Amino acid sequence: MITTLLVIVIILAIVFDFINGFHDAANSIATIVSTKVLTPFQAVLWAATFNFAAYFYFTDHKVADTVAKTVFAQYVTLEVVLSGLVAAILWNLLTWYYGIPSSSSHTLIGGFAGAGMAKALSLGENALVAVNFDPIIKVVAFIVLAPIIGMVIAIIINLIIINISKNARPSTAEKWFKRLQLVSSAALSFTHGGNDAQKVMGIIFAALLANNLVEPGQPMPEWIPLSCYAAIALGTMSGGWKIVKTMGTKITKVTSLEGVSAEAAGAVTLGITEHFGIPVSTTHTITGSIIGVGLTKRISAVKWGVTYSLIWAWVLTIPVSATLAAIAFFITHYVF
């Protein structure tokens, strides 16, 4: 039966995907804006188009399945899902306001897990019994691995491009790099859409399971991926200029050549992790890639003070989101 609470949960999930779009817009457009290949308005339209195009390609929903299994089914209720979403939205808006490129993926997963633990506590059980640590361990491991993989791939691609183009005329090379950056940013937006939209799909599907509207093992209703991809694309179109400034200029100065390398590295990393159903952070991945291209120049080219601040935000995201979700659960528990 469709209840008012279920409708609220679905609406909040779509809202979260919209916020995820403008919060993470910077991931795929920061370098292309900072190198002036596209204007900010053109860039968000470009990114949004490829965010939505991912709907037609990523049909296995492996990442969505991983997220849905973060909390064991017996602890998943509409109150749990609602609380996780509220916490994730609050943390996303807070970090967006301060221009901190934190992970929308990790705040959603942390919120869901925190609400599940609160549910277990409300039943007089150990909080940890609610959490499925297999996907959580993967997520936590890739807080470290995703930026490192992105950084290594970016260094390799950047060095290859530099070697190939070393004898080219600078003006000719710059023209081609700007054209290639359109392709690399499109690839990054495409894989970003495929990875990030699926996380909310998993949350909505978990809510439907909790309300007995679908059976375990049943295919996901098509309206879920369609609405999630549309929401993240619309969110991307609304921009996220504070985070664009951090990603595009504060970590290291990026040229068109380096933009191609960073975006291509981010797209490759996201494509690999999506294939294996690992919900990684697009933010972490592209940040690692940008650091990688900075390191190919010299270590001092990277503004490490900014980078350390970002790392602290990454470390805090899951526990803070989990705590907010637990508080939201106990409030929701008494309201509903």
pLDDT digits (tens, 9 = 90+) for 118-146: 999 998 899 899 999 888 888 888 877 88
Q: How many CB atoms lie within 10 A of CB 169?
A: 9
Q: Which residue has the tokens 């039966």?
A: 1
**Contact between 203 and 80 (Cβ < 8 Å):** no
Q: How many CB atoms lie within 10 A of CB 13?
A: 30
Cα–Cα distance measured from residue 106 to residue 153, given in angstroms and rounded to the nearest whole number = 23
- Looking at residue 35, what DSSP letter applies? T
- The SS3 of residue 2 is coil
Cα–Cα distance measured from residue 256 to residue 5, given in angstroms and rounded to the nearest whole number = 48
Q: Which two tokens stand for residue 245?
A: 């400034």
Which region holds residue 252: left if phi is over 0, alpha if psi is between -120 and 50, else beta?
Answer: beta
Nearest to 47 by CA among 17, 66, 21, 11: 21
**Contact between 204 and 10 (Cβ < 8 Å):** yes
pLDDT of the residue at 263 = 86
Q: What are phi and psi of 210, to 5 degrees?
A: -65, -25
Q: Which two tokens stand for residue 82?
A: 């609602």
pLDDT of the residue at 280 = 79
Q: Which amino acid is at 71?
A: V
Give the chain's residues under pLDDT 70: 1-2, 23-28, 30, 99-101, 239-254, 299-310, 313, 335-336
pLDDT of the residue at 68 = 80
pLDDT of the residue at 58 = 82
Percent of the chain with pLDDT over 70: 86
Beta carbons within 8 Å of 42's beta carbon, 6+ residues apart? none
Q: How far from chain centre, in Å, is Cα 179?
A: 26
Cα–Cα distance measured from residue 50 to residue 44, given in angstroms and rounded to the nearest whole number = 10
Cα–Cα distance measured from residue 275 to residue 189, given in angstroms and rounded to the nearest whole number = 16
Beta carbons within 8 Å of 169's beta carbon, 6+ residues apart? none
**Contact between 115 and 80 (Cβ < 8 Å):** yes
Q: What are phi and psi of 254, to 5 degrees?
A: -115, 130
Cα–Cα distance measured from residue 63 to residue 271, given in angstroms and rounded to the nearest whole number = 11
pLDDT of the residue at 310 = 65
pLDDT of the residue at 248 = 46
